[in-house]
Structure formats: structure tokens, C-alpha cells
């Protein structure tokens, strides 16, 4: 048997603060042209919900930052794994904005979030390298792919990968796209095992030449309110089209590398970016095989958790593994597909057989 990377623990941190679409009715929405949108807010929000499927999202508490959420998710994953935290060889935190405190728009990136999490967990082992990954929304999965490469190379035996972001702190409240964004964290413990299960293959692509500006930082659409601050900005229509053209192809390439047929896939755990877009990606994937997606193959959390960037996929995995997603079960031998798309533009995918 080959040495493969196996998930031995999962965890997540879902903030308690629920923010419904109705809570957004008092906002003023402006367009990229700097003009106030001439539609009733109820109409704007109804259209948003119809397109994205988002009914509510979660925001971090005032006293929480991304590294705090990451530490909670990490502790949860450690508890579920039952391992000794001092046996970790690496701690990786994927994020995009560092720690952004409530009431500010400033990213705090020093020390690395992974170092902060290691300190919060009181891990003393100096051999547990703590470092960050910034790779857009696919960052958590990219961290997993990095760990798999290190395990296959024989450099490490056990690692933790966490995804954490607080997008509510970097989104423009006058931009309709801000309704998508949420906060959260998810984590996994990975270890080397002699088995035919675990990570079977992965694929990564970065289309930076023509697509790097689809997600950028820019000024508020309401120029009178935020003169100096910059916020996360998205070219939604172009991103949607790009994702439909590329994500399914990347997943198919990954399945072919693993020697896995589409009929063997039990669950597709995809980044919770936009409900309609994810459904379209799934349809495009099965269209490549001339097939229809089976019912229940793609669990979704976006309707109630929103888009928490790097946290969506590990959070989704944790909820399914722990039986918290009605109608969804993961069993030994099941084939899972992980996939994500985000700022860069980056895409990655991985195929995993459950031990």
C-alpha cells in the first residue's frame, strides 16, 4: 500500500450572530457608477436571494477576529481526532485578510495567523511549523494539497489545516455583493497512513493573465462615506461565466488522475460561493460525462451560512461528518470531491476516498 493523506479529525467555528436578509433592508445600495440604485431595497434583496440562495449569514462577534475563529475550529478538530496536539508537524491557516478588528478596515498580518493559533492552543512543540496560505477562497484546499505533498515526500506525518476569514469586515455595505459575504472557520487534522484510502489526486490552476481582476480591493461605491477605506469588490457576471467554463473541467481532470468514474462519486463538497452558480457547476460537471447529477450529491450550507471564503468547504465537511446535515451521510469507502474557485483567479480540486 502507498502512504496516503487521511483526514482524522474535523472542526468548525460558526459565529452565533445571525444576520438575515431582512436585516439589510435599512442599507443604502449604490452601483459601480457611484449612483444610488433606483430600486426599493426589498426588490434588491429579493433578487439577490433568488440568484444566490442566501437567506442569512453569520458574522463574528465584536471581540472576535479570524485567528480567534480559527483557534475554535482547530480545537474542535483536535477534540474529534483524539490526537496529542504536540505531535503536529505543521499548522497551516488559510485566509485572505488576516485579523481585521471590528470598526476598522485594517488587515493585521504579523505575526502569521497560524502562529497566533498555535499560541492560543498552547502548542509548545517547536517542530510544528506554523505558516499561512493566501490563495483566495481555494486557500483551505490548497493548504490540504500542500500537506499531501509534504506527506508524500516524507517530510511530515501529521498536520492541521484551517480556513478562517471575516469577510463582513472588508465588504462595502453599499455594494449589493456585500450581502454574499460571511464569517467563519473550519479545520481538519491530516495524517500519513499506509492505505489505499485518503487523497487520491488533486488539480490546481491559476488563470492570472486575463482574470486576476475579477476580485480586487477598491473604494466604496458611496464615495462620500468611505474616502480612504478599500473593500472587497467582485465582477460577479464575469466570475460566474469563468467558473462555469473552468471548475467542472478541473474536477474532471482530477477524477481522471485518480482513475475514478463520475458514477463512483458520493459527495461533491464545493466552495459555497453562490447557490445558483454551484448548481450550474455541478450540472456542467455531469454534462461532461453525458449524465445527470444524482439527488443529494452536493450538500449546501450557503442559504444559512453565506460565503465565508476559505471556511466554507471545511465547515461543510465537518457538518456532514458529524451528522449535522439532514439527508447527508459519509460512509467508509465513499468517494468525495472537494473543489473551490476564487480570487486569483484560482481553482483547485481533490478526490478523496473515505477510510
Q: How far is CA 55 from CA 52, 93, 182, 308, in A?
A: 9, 28, 12, 14
Q: How far is CA 103 from CA 56, 63, 68, 169, in A?
A: 22, 10, 17, 8
Which cell numbers in the block locate residue 344? 486569483
Active site (annotated) includes residue 197? no
Q: Which of 171, 180, 236 is nearest to 45 (CA)?
A: 180
Which cell numbers in the block locate residue 179? 450581502
Q: Which of 198, 197, 132 is nearest to 160 (CA)?
A: 132
Burial of 154 (0-12, 13-18, 19+ CB in 10 A): exposed
Within 10 angstroms of residue 80's Cβ, the number of other Cβ atoms is: 18
Quick check: helix, strand or coil at residue 350? strand
Query: Which of the following is catalytic: 95, 174, 202, 271?
Result: 271
Cβ contact 232:40 at 8 Å: no
Burial of 127 (0-12, 13-18, 19+ CB in 10 A): exposed
Query: Which of the following is catalytic: 202, 307, 346, 348?
Result: 307
Which cell numbers in the block locate residue 227? 474616502
Active site (annotated) includes residue 12? no
Which cell numbers in the block locate residue 208? 492570472
What string of H, E and C letters represents the secondary structure of 176-227? HHHHHECEEEEEEEEEEEECCCEEEEEEEEECHHHHCCCEEEEECCCCCCCC
Active site (annotated) includes residue 254? no
First-to-last C-alpha distance (Å) of the chain: 13
Query: Which of the following is catalytic: 12, 137, 197, 254?
Result: 137
Rg (CA), the chain: 20
Contacts of 145 (CB under 8 A, 6+ apart): 202, 204, 348, 350
- Residues serving a catalytic function are 137, 271, 307
Amino acid at each position: 500500500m502507498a502512504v496516503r493523506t487521511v483526514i482524522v479529525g474535523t472542526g468548525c467555528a460558526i459565529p452565533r450572530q445571525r444576520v438575515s436578509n431582512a436585516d439589510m433592508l435599512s442599507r443604502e445600495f449604490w452601483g459601480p457608477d457611484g449612483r444610488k440604485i433606483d430600486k426599493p431595497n426589498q426588490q434588491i434583496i429579493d433578487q439577490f436571494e433568488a440568484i444566490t440562495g442566501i437567506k442569512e449569514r453569520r458574522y463574528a462577534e465584536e471581540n472576535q477576529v479570524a485567528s480567534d475563529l480559527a483557534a475554535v475550529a482547530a480545537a474542535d478538530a483536535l477534540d474529534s481526532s483524539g490526537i496529542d496536539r504536540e505531535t503536529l508537524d505543521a499548522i497551516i491557516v488559510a485566509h485572505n485578510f488576516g485579523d481585521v478588528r471590528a470598526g476598522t478596515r485594517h488587515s493585521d498580518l504579523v505575526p502569521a495567523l497560524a502562529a497566533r493559533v498555535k499560541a492560543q492552543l498552547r502548542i509548545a512543540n517547536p517542530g510544528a511549523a506554523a505558516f499561512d496560505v493566501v490563495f483566495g477562497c481555494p486557500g483551505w484546499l490548497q493548504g490540504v494539497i500542500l500537506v499531501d505533498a509534504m506527506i508524500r515526500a516524507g517530510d511530515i506525518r501529521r498536520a492541521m489545516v484551517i480556513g478562517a476569514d471575516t469577510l463582513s469586515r472588508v465588504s462595502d455595505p453599499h455594494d449589493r455583493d456585500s450581502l454574499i459575504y460571511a464569517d467563519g472557520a473550519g479545520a481538519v487534522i491530516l495524517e500519513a497512513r499506509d492505505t489505499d484510502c485518503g487523497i487520491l489526486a488533486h488539480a490546481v490552476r491559476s488563470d492570472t493573465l486575463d482574470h486576476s481582476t475579477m476580485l480586487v480591493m477598491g473604494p466604496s461605491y458611496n464615495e462620500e462615506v468611505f474616502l480612504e477605506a478599500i473593500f472587497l469588490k467582485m465582477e460577479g457576471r464575469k466570475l460566474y461565466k469563468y467558473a462555469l467554463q473552468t471548475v467542472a473541467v478541473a474536477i474532471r481532470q482530477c477524477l481522471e488522475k485518480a482513475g475514478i468514474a463520475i458514477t463512483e462519486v458520493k459527495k461533491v463538497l464545493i466552495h459555497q460561493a453562490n447557490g445558483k452558480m454551484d448548481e450550474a457547476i455541478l450540472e456542467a460537471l455531469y454534462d461532461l460525462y453525458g449524465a445527470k447529477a444524482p439527488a443529494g450529491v452536493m450538500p449546501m450550507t450557503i442559504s444559512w451560512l453565506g460565503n465565508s471564503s476559505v471556511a466554507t468547504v471545511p465547515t461543510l465537511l465537518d457538518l456532514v461528518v458529524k451528522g449535522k446535515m439532514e439527508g447527508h451521510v459519509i460512509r467508509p469507502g465513499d468517494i468525495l470531491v472537494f473543489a473551490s474557485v476564487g480570487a486569483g483567479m484560482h481553482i483547485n480540486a481533490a478526490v478523496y476516498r473515505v477510510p
